[in-house]
Structure 1
């Protein structure tokens, strides 16, 4: 059984979607990021960036010792290669899926995350920063909309690229985006939303969603960390 170190954020949802789609046995180990669980020494051993999600696979395909994986994109690739699911075997098909996976990791996720921060969480409203990230999120929605024109899923067939992108589109209203402006994206979004495994994945996160992630205390933990503030004793 895979241990999934998790909190119900877009990056956390990516992994539960895969695990539900692949019908893999897994156990959720909550990492309450608002309480600072991500900075505990035991978690640092498997996630050196102090960020969830992370997994421990007790039965890796090489038959060796349990293996840990951090970073949501790396976890999706690892699980796809382990199971042979949701990642094409062909050179060109794999190339396309990994392009869009990395596009999400390097573009959609970070830009939407900054959108969330400056629009929702920053202690002061900075109009330039809000406009910068709302507009860049809008541009990225347009890129994805064009890619989905004539395709059911991002790379043609359903893949880890779809699992990576969908959770970052779910909060589109908070990102100040209108799906009506992106008809191909909207159609794909509704298809993803209605997949039984996606529904189950979000249901798995529901028990943890009742705990507010952002409050006055958690702001001190989540925002403004430096190398000095997360260093471990003896380092």
Structure 2
């Protein structure tokens, strides 16, 4: 039987709790719990550092080939924008401190399909027109 290897790169599924809980404790939890919010912000920073390391010398997470894995991360990092009100500069700081991550996210966001998805997201998130 083959030994299983631990996954060294965060998966989009593994990010869900960190991003979701950071948003929850920043905006929706009835009681302000800075320690809880900070815990999840720290986890976002930690897993993004792991991504940055995994991207060293590579264009994408799976070598130099774009895969669904890369694209699945994009909406989670768009969600970081929603944290700007409670944690100003979070995404800007990640991009400044983690050059592999910043270049990778920029490459993804330059793709026409990703631009189209972002425009659709903005359209669907906009307040209803009167």
TM-score (norm 2): 0.76
Higher helix share: 2
Give the aligned partner of residue 71 of structure 1: none
Pair 192,100 (structure 1): closer, same or farther in 2 beyond 3 Å:
farther
Equivalent-residue separation in structure 2 for 1:205 and 1:171 (angstroms): 11
Moved over 6 A (4+): none
Give the aligned partner of residue 205 of structure 1: 121
TM-score (norm 1): 0.44
Higher strand share: 1
Shift of 1:103: 2.0
Q: Report the number of matched residues.
A: 113
Q: Please tell me whether Structure 1 or Structure 2 has the larger radius of gyration of its CA atoms.
A: 1
Write the mapping of 1:72-91 to structure 2, written as runs, cut at 5 A: none
Correspondence 1:195 to 2:111? yes
Are the aligned partners of 2:22 and 2:40 in contact in 1 as well (CA < 8 Å)?
yes
Pair 204,100 (structure 1): closer, same or farther in 2 beyond 3 Å:
farther
Structure 2 residue ranges without an equivalent (≥5): 1-6
RMSD of the TM alignment (CA)?
A: 2.3
Structure 1 residue ranges without an equivalent (≥5): 1-98, 213-235
